[in-house]
Amino acid sequence: MAEYHSGFACVVGRPNVGKSTLVNTLIGQDVAITSPTPQTTRHSIRGIVSQPDRQLVLVDTPGLHKPRTVLGKRLNELVRETWATVDVLVMCVPADQRVGPGDRFIASQLGRSAARGAATVAVVTKTDLADRDRTAEQLLEVSGLSEQIGRDWTEIIPVSVRSGENVETLKQVLLGLLPVGPQLYPEDEITDEPTATFIAEAIRHAAMQEMHDELPHSLAVQVESVTPRADRPETDPLTDVEATIFVERDSQKPIVLGRKGAGIRRIGTQARERIEPLLGTRVYLDLRVKVAKDWQKDPKQLRRLGF
């Protein structure tokens, strides 16, 4: 009987280099928020790829960055803690941006985890935004980052999520690097995110889409309750979800609410489109907006909000 292989691969890189989009594409379904706004991801999101003889758990982490708040420091700590526990480290560098100090810093940090035996795979993302010559130059530049890591890359792969170039190749490479191990999750499961966390992220994603670049980092979401509506027919169940969107200042609250509540209604409509497939029922979403003054800088409020 063939041995089963399983393990974890952590996707790392600077903010906004395509990590979440890559994870979602490899899984085949959205489990992580994607946005052009840097530092969108605030949790280690796990997505699962299952095959008959192996299982890959992809971990999307926040982008490592220079922190300006207590929240930023905690996100960086989360990234480093995650790196220390995985079997494969996947570093993303976009094809259309030169390798810079941030990339070299991350590569040097990867060296510590690589020394413990983790494989290292470099992915040059967004190749659809660069011509063939520029992509070739970037592959050479990324190859040079091996000096910071202290060892050669296990693989270097150019990928375009938009065109699909080498996405399947990358998936097979990652699956092939997994150690012998047991099946970790049911084969039909695509994420181990708790339901409340997934719902909160769906609401935050919808709010970011509505707000664009106005105040994405000032938003936090807390799910208060998820309750099946009593006395509903089995053929038409309904789930009541109560959640609160927190902002940092009084002046931000009307921006989220919108004129005569139009903004919060649009957020609710978009969020339900992501939540209902997860719960398998129609959803009544009760959204509130509250002010938690300067929550990103307050350790007590950060703990209350799950950071």
What is the domain-level CATH number for residue 209? Answer: 3.30.300.20
pLDDT at 39 over 90: no
Averaged pLDDT for residues 239-244: 92
pLDDT of residue 14: 83
pLDDT at 228 over 70: yes
**Calpha distance 259→144 (Å, rounded):** 52
Question: Is residue 190 in a domain?
Answer: no
What's the CATH number where 90 sits? 3.40.50.300
Question: Is residue 20 in a domain?
Answer: yes
pLDDT of residue 212: 65
94 and 207 in a single domain? The answer is no
19 and 160 in a single domain? The answer is yes
101 and 144 in a single domain? The answer is yes
**Calpha distance 145→153 (Å, rounded):** 9
Number of compact structural domains in the chain: 2
Range of the domain at 20: 5-176
127 and 39 in a single domain? The answer is yes
Question: Is residue 80 in a domain?
Answer: yes
3-state SS assignment for residue 34: coil
Average pLDDT over the chain reads 82
pTM above 0.75, yes or no: no
26 and 88 in a single domain? The answer is yes
Residue 10 or 294, more confident: 10
The token pair that represents 216 in the structure block:
């994405």
Share of the chain above pLDDT 90, in %: 36
pLDDT of residue 85: 76
pLDDT at 73 over 80: no
237 and 126 in a single domain? The answer is no
**Calpha distance 251→116 (Å, rounded):** 49
Question: Is residue 271 in a domain?
Answer: yes
pLDDT of residue 179: 93
149 and 209 in a single domain? The answer is no
290 and 227 in a single domain? The answer is yes
pLDDT of residue 88: 92
Question: Is residue 188 in a domain?
Answer: no
**Calpha distance 61→137 (Å, rounded):** 27
151 and 209 in a single domain? The answer is no
**Calpha distance 159→136 (Å, rounded):** 12
pLDDT tier at 75 (50, 70, 90 boundaries)? low
pLDDT tier at 140 (50, 70, 90 boundaries)? very high
**Calpha distance 250→253 (Å, rounded):** 6
Residue 294 or 118, more confident: 118
104 and 202 in a single domain? The answer is no
The token pair that represents 240 in the structure block:
């009541």
Residue 185 or 287, more confident: 287
* Residue matched to tokens 């009987």: 1
13 and 149 in a single domain? The answer is yes
